[in-house]
Amino acid sequence: MKKLFFLLACGSLFLLGACNSNGNKPSGNTTGADTSKGNPVITFDEMVHNFGNVTQGAKVEYSFKFTNTGDKDLLITDASSSCGCTVPDWPKEPLRPGKSAYMKVVFNSAGKDGFTEKEITIKANTNPPVVQGPKIQCTVVKQ
């Protein structure tokens, strides 16, 4: 009986080990980003852009230049603001180390009055994965 129990236990352990191995499967990287090196780092040339006075109801935009100063491809998966009045647009392709690109930010001043500041939050394959990006500022004045 002890031999039968021992054989069943060894057989079970063998099957569990075989089920948990991944063999020669690919790593699962489907983003096209390079995962063989360190970390990407997003570095903006400027962190604040002030539009000055903006007439209420006007839409203004600014493009923030950024560079991947890390040693791995940078892939931005999302960029957002705390308000729907500020909409960022970013490159969807991976950005190689040392390369630069632009993040366009459009601000709609409709319904706003006085000083306004909006910060962009960026989700990317950086460490940490959520980064506080640039800010736009302006003073909305009525016509």
Instruction: Assess contact for 133 and 121: CB atoms under 8 A.
Output: yes
Structural domain including 91 reads: 42-141
- Exposure string of 72-105, with b = 16+ CB inside 10 Å and e = fewer, is bbbbbeebebeeebbbbebeeebbebeeebebeb
> Is residue 51 assigned to a domain?
yes
Distance CA 99, CA 118 (A): 26
Model confidence, pTM = 0.73
Apex CA 134: angle with CA 116 and CA 128, to 5°?
A: 130
Question: Structurally, how many domains does the chain consist of?
Answer: 1
> Is residue 2 assigned to a domain?
no
CATH, residue 92: 2.60.40.10
> Is residue 12 assigned to a domain?
no
Per-position pLDDT tens, the chain of length 143 = 445 444 444 444 444 344 444 444 333 333 344 445 589 999 999 999 999 999 999 999 999 999 999 999 999 999 999 899 999 999 999 999 999 999 999 999 999 999 999 999 999 999 999 999 999 999 999 98
Closest CA to 49 of 32, 71, 65: 65
